[in-house]
Structure 1
């Protein structure tokens, strides 16, 4: 019997890939590459967004 997956809201800016490793081009003393970890500013590195609240405008 198939299991139903929960619909989690994926961040529209990073498409769920919230953290990226960017190489700087430099190398450490042991020869490994120096990288920076960059997090998505919209979801703060979680990959998910919270649903927007209901806003009532008017009377």
Structure 2
């Protein structure tokens, strides 16, 4: 059963990979700039949120010591 599944997956991989490459290459530069911008905004949000959490933990640990 497992061998059959792996065999079917390996037979379908070139088709899926080819379709993914066609989808990937069919987008123009504006689409890629939009994706990069969204990734940058998302990463900035995550880093700011993590920095705020670290600062909040530091304040909590300092207030607990005194």
Structure number with the higher helix fraction is 2
Same fold per TM (> 0.5)? no
Return the TM-score normalized by structure 2: 0.22
Radius of gyration: which is bigger?
2
Higher relative contact order at CA 8 Å, sep ≥6: structure 1 or structure 2?
A: 1
Counting strand residues as a fraction of each chain, which structure ranks higher? Answer: 1
Normalising by structure 1, what TM-score? 0.24
